Amino acid sequence: MLDRREFVQRLLVDRGDLLVVPGLGSATYDVAAAGDHPLNFYLWGAMGGTAMIALGLALARPDRRVVAIPGDGDMLMGLGSLATIGVKQPKNLVVVVLDNARYGETGMQPSHTDAGVDFERVALACRFRQACTVTRIEEVAESRKSLHTGEGPILINAKIKPEDVPRVLPLRDGHAIKQRFIAALNVA
């Protein structure tokens, strides 16, 4: 299983003009720990909405690569959005689920994936073009390549260790996060 910080850091290294939407909780902290960036739309709430925000963005900007990074609890809450993405078939969208099979923010209670619910198979059933499960850090280069050049929609289920890591807290003001993102996207 993966070290979440190492995986996200290596996934986003030399990220170029990638647009990144991390989900609330640890996913947002992991993306912040990999290096603050104006093209991160950090979420601190809106649980279940991460993949849909990324879809709206991917449809609006088909010229750019978009990655949603929800945790497993967030993805489970918005499971229907995988079906919605499957209908629209955005070629520029990748969903990377950080799956520790736990609700990390609320005390590490087991999630549905702990009981065997499998995002890779759900995504394929929802007409994602590609889906895979990553368990070894050696696979991160392939995941990174998918982010930048793979034909979407793609889902990567990253099996991370259920461990507590120090919080890295980015911007929290929603207006500031939005305005910074829009300003950076308009110049880039």
Partner 1 sequence: MATSWPDAICAHFRRVGIRQVGYVPDAGHSRLIALCQKDPQIIDVVLTTEEEGVGLVAGAALGGQHAALLMQSSGVGNCVNMFSLLRNCGFPCIVLVTMRGEFGEFNPWQVPMGAITEEVLRLCGFLTYRVESADAVDEIVGAGCDMAFTGNLAVAILLSQRLIGPKQWTR
Interacting residue ranges for partner 1, rule: CB under 8 A: 19, 21, 41, 44-61, 78, 80-81, 83-84, 87-88, 174-175, 177-178, 181-182, 185-186
* Least distance between partner 1 and beta carbon 43 (Å): 8
Please identify, using beta-carbon distances, which residue of 78 and 140 lies nearer to partner 1: 78
Question: How big is the chain, counted in residues?
Answer: 188
Residue type, 142: E
User: Whole-angstrom Cα distance, residue 30 to residue 98?
Assistant: 10
Nearer to partner 1 (CB atom), residue 86 or residue 104: 86
Q: Which DSSP category does 31 fall into?
A: H
Nearest-approach distance from CB 74 to partner 1, in angstroms = 11
According to DSSP, the β-strands at 154-159 and 130-134 are parallel
The CB-of-185 to partner 1 minimum distance in angstroms stands at 7
**How many C-alpha atoms does 109 have within 13 Å on its Cβ side?**
5
The b/e string for 32-67 (b: 16+ C-beta within 10 A; e otherwise) is bbbeebbbbbbbeeebbbbbbbbbebbeeeeebbbb
> Based on CB atoms, which residue is closest to partner 1, 85 or 101?
85
Q: Which is nearer to partner 1, 106 or 138 (CB)?
A: 106
Query: To the nearest whole angstrom, how small is the minimum distance from the Cβ of residue 79 to partner 1?
Result: 9
